[in-house]
Amino acid sequence: MTGGIEAPGSWRDYGAVDLPAPLRAALEVFVQHGYHGTSVREIAARAGLSVPGLYHHYPSKQSLLQGLLELTMADLLRRSEQAIAEAGDDPLAQFDAVVESLLRFHMYRREQAFVGSTEMRSLDDDYRPRYIGHRVRQQRMVDEIVVAGVASGVFRTVDPKGAARAVATMCVGLSTWYRAGGELGPDELIDRNLEYARAIVGHVSD
């Protein structure tokens, strides 16, 4: 990245998860035991901090969850927006790009995505609307592309928003079962799920 501009195709690039030590520790323990089954003391120990040292950075277990989800959603939204922008104006190209971006994210950031999906019930009431707003923003990207595709005759679904929700749900679901080293490699899995996604929206092939 140079001068704050994302390199073309960088939305496909995934290295190791880069999180502050407290959030990385919280992520590991939330995945293993769930939010309510995790203690602050356990997170602090995993992060190599004392409990007061952890509280210096994050004043509560809830703030750890919120901090983790904010970084997760910022990454997801950035990648989706870049993928769509690079696809140009064609609805099918945009659709393939956003679906691929969602699939890659839920494979390569599987644990973060899993916590984001399963711990909504654990969010404080004052933060939950903000988090839901992030998810709505992501869903609207898919909705708008499918609606545009129907308008242009590329997709034939009679329920564009329902189909868009089904596609997004399929992509999100990958975080619950994907494992590296499975029968299909990442690119093969993406190709197969793109076929499923196109079928859901009723893609009209040439």
pLDDT at 1 over 80: no
Angle (deg, nearest 10), helices 110-118 and 61-87: 120
| Rounded mean pLDDT, 73-97 | 97
pLDDT at 2 over 90: no
pLDDT at 27 over 50: yes
Q: Is the pTM of this model over 0.85?
A: yes
Backbone phi, then psi, for 84, in 5-degree steps?
-65, -45
pLDDT at 152 over 90: yes
The reported pLDDT for the residue numbered 4 is 52
Mean residue pLDDT of the chain comes to 93
| Rounded mean pLDDT, 166-176 | 92
Residue 127: closest CA among 77, 62, 76:
62
